[in-house]
Amino acid sequence: MPVLFLLFGTTFIWAMLLVCNRIALTSFDIDPYAMTCWQLVFGGIALVLLAPGRSIPWRQFTLPINWAYGFLRVMTGVTWTASLLYISAPESGILSQTGMPLAALAATFVLGRAPGRYEWFGHATLICGALWLAWHLPGGFGNPAVLLMLASEVTAISSSVLAELHPDNQIKDTWAHLRFTGVLLLITASIFLIVPPLIALISPVPIPYISTSGLFGTETLIAGLLIGILFRGPAMVLSLRSIKTAGIEKYILSTSVLPFVLLGLEMVAAQFALTPMPTHDSVFWISSLLVMIGIIQITVSKHRHAAKRRAQDRIAAAAATPENAG
């Protein structure tokens, strides 16, 4: 599968998931916490059972790294979903742009892959776009969505680093990888059920509905079943495969187009009266422009940095040949 197709396919599936979440929250009697939990349960079961005749990988349920990953994914999902109570999906996509600079820092100090010098200008532009939108939200930087989305990105990057380093994410057997992903989803769902008080305690702002009281609502169950199998499971599979194939920097860069994909999908949903029609003012479009400029800067810088590295490798290889050595 071409890497570019994989990366943008992953972004599209995540955008579909977010818009469907917003439709569920705004159009039906849905408990957001319980719905997210059921998405993980049904998505995980579907992936584990997808490969008939293979044993369930019980060992995966005992690994601390899987539980750490699950907890981080819980915080990512809860905080992003909660932010949709305060802002639109495209606005959440703009605020998520803080993830790119965080990914660059993680790549530099954890994975040992420092980006090119000029790439940091692109990261600064992305941050400016996010700050511009946050400043103009109701309540400004005090809007709960600002801290919620920052927490979502910190935990998302942390879980992405774990995913890249996880030895079981390197396996080539497609069916085994699906089962591994399903186990991660089920572990994450277990954490949802076990630690609502802890999540409420460490959340940067109060999150409504952090409880399991609405777990068995009919509409909540249906939404969890459909969105979990159709989008949550595939999104996790594609995300882990993208991180494994391209690394977290390119994976997060590909998600930078998320605000624009979300805007298009919300406009389509609004045509069917599923969500309110997006009505974004000049603040949103200025933020979007800054994000687009930042994406272009980072992409060009990565291309030049990669070309420079290839040239250096060719020179080093040529210098190491026997003819030159003699």
Contact 159, 27 (CB under 8 A): no
pLDDT at 205: 65
pLDDT at 158: 93
pTM score, whole prediction: 0.78
Contact 89, 266 (CB under 8 A): yes
Burial class (CB in 10 A: 0-12, 13-18, 19+), 280: middle
User: Average pLDDT by consecutive 10-residue portion of the chain (326 residues)?
Assistant: 85 92 83 85 88 68 86 83 82 89 91 85 93 94 92 92 85 78 86 71 63 79 94 92 86 82 87 80 90 88 78 72 57
pLDDT at 52: 61
Q: What is the pLDDT of residues 202-261, one digit of tens each?
A: 666 666 556 667 778 889 899 999 999 999 999 999 999 898 888 888 888 888 788 888
Q: Greatest CA span in the chain, whole angstroms?
A: 78
pLDDT at 149: 93
pLDDT at 93: 86
Q: What is the pLDDT of residues 179-198, one digit of tens each?
A: 888 888 888 888 877 766 66
Taking Cα atoms as reference points, which of 302, 277, 224, 221 lies closest to residue 20? 224
Taking Cα atoms as reference points, which of 289, 277, 240 lies closest to residue 89? 277
Cα separation, 109 vs 229, whole angstroms: 36
User: Tokens in use for 184?
Assistant: 């991660």
Cα separation, 91 vs 89, whole angstroms: 5
* Residue ranges of domains in the chain: 3-320
Taking Cα atoms as reference points, which of 243, 61, 278 lies closest to residue 159? 243
pLDDT at 121: 92
Residue 13 one-letter amino acid: I
Cα separation, 232 vs 46, whole angstroms: 11
- Looking up tokens 């495969």 gives 241
